[in-house]
Homo-oligomer: A and B are copies of this chain.
Amino acid sequence: MPTVRLRDVAERAGVSVRTVSNVVNDFVHVAPATRERVHRALDELGYRPNLAARQLRRGRSGVISLVVAEIDSPYFAELAAVVVRAAETRGWDVHIDQTDGDPDRERRMLSGPLGQQVDGVVFSPWALAPAELTQRAPSIPLVVLGERQANGQVDHVAVDNVAAAHDATAHLISHGRQRIVALGLQPHLSNETARLRQQGYRDALVDAGRSLDPRLEVGVQRLHRSDGAQAVARLLTEDVSFDALFCFTDQLALGAIRALADRGLRVPDDVAVVGFDDIEDGRYAVPSLTTVAPDKRQIADVALRLLANRIQDPAAPVVDFVAAHELVIRQSSDPVTIYPNHAGGS
């Protein structure tokens, strides 16, 4: 496979290297005849620009990095898919990095994954405290997803977690549920998202004149289905009574439903379940899962727009964007619902 360089094309077309470069980059002021000739040589030789050289010269790579905890978590996978598609329209390539929710790895990513290889980072923190984010920010254009950082020093896109959790909880209350569990605290991590959802849950209970019961606030190690299943199993073993679950992620909710089914408990008749994220699994689960649906498309679009701005003007004012969310009511919390929201392929 002979690597074809501008020089090779130039020789073939009988022009200078610079002119070929001009054609490749669609510069003005190239005579149509020349352009034509160069294009032919380009095609014949199958030229493909060496991005390393281009980047070295231009100082830009056209690659951004998306940093998430784990790419095999459906929420992150779905988010990654929309980010990649949105990036395409901007001519960007996306490099996906996993941190496995490890604070150290998250920290390392902040100082720039891939060396100076990437022009910017879209970062979905999981275990890192907001303070750390702002502290490390300046080294590279950065947009943070989720969480919320008090002192707006970094561009940021997220749903209003407190309001969303409030909505979900209020929905359960309005359907007559008496003992609602909040499932998904992560006290061992600086997981701001979990904290905000807990806040919304409490607010809703207080607003409804209910009292808080610490036994109904349940922590998990991680956020997989197995954690949800185990947590519910524990609750049942410990004879904590409850008739509803507000799970901080859909994965937890699906695991929880699984565990309830194993114990012969019916959803939603015995226990109503609400999740968070609107992953595809939930739409097709049996019963289908009521959930808070963040507008992922919007999150991706806005994040990339902010990142583009930040790259262009590092001194631009910081933006804190609140993305839309919607409570999608399905079978798991509402016996009346038959089969809503069936459409929507991927």
Q: Which residues of A contact B (CB under 8 A)?
A: 1, 3, 46, 48-53, 55-56, 61, 70-74, 77-78, 80-81, 84-85, 93-96, 98, 111-112, 114-117, 138-140, 222, 224-227, 229, 254-255, 257-258, 261-262, 280-281, 283-286, 288, 338-339, 342-346
Contacts and interface: CB of A to CB of B under 8 A. Distances in A.
A336 to B, nearest CB: 14
A285 to B, nearest CB: 7
6 contacts: A71-B77, A71-B84, A93-B114, A226-B343, A257-B284, A285-B286
Contacts of A84: 71, 96, 98
Most B CB within 10 A of own CB, among A74, A111, A139, A288: A74
A51 B117 contact: yes
Give the residue among A1, A61, A112 with the most B Cβ atoms within 10 A: A1
Nearest to A49: B115
Nearest to A113: B93
Contacts of A222: 345
A21 to B, nearest CB: 15
A114 B71 contact: no
A339 B71 contact: no
A98 to B, nearest CB: 6
Contacts of A286: 257-258, 261, 285-286
Contacts of A71: 71, 77, 80-81, 84, 96
Contacts of A55: 52
Query: A78, A84, A345 — which one has the most chain B CB atoms within 10 A of its CB?
Result: A345
Given A84-B96, A225-B345, 6 more contacts: A71-B81, A72-B78, A73-B77, A81-B98, A85-B98, A226-B342
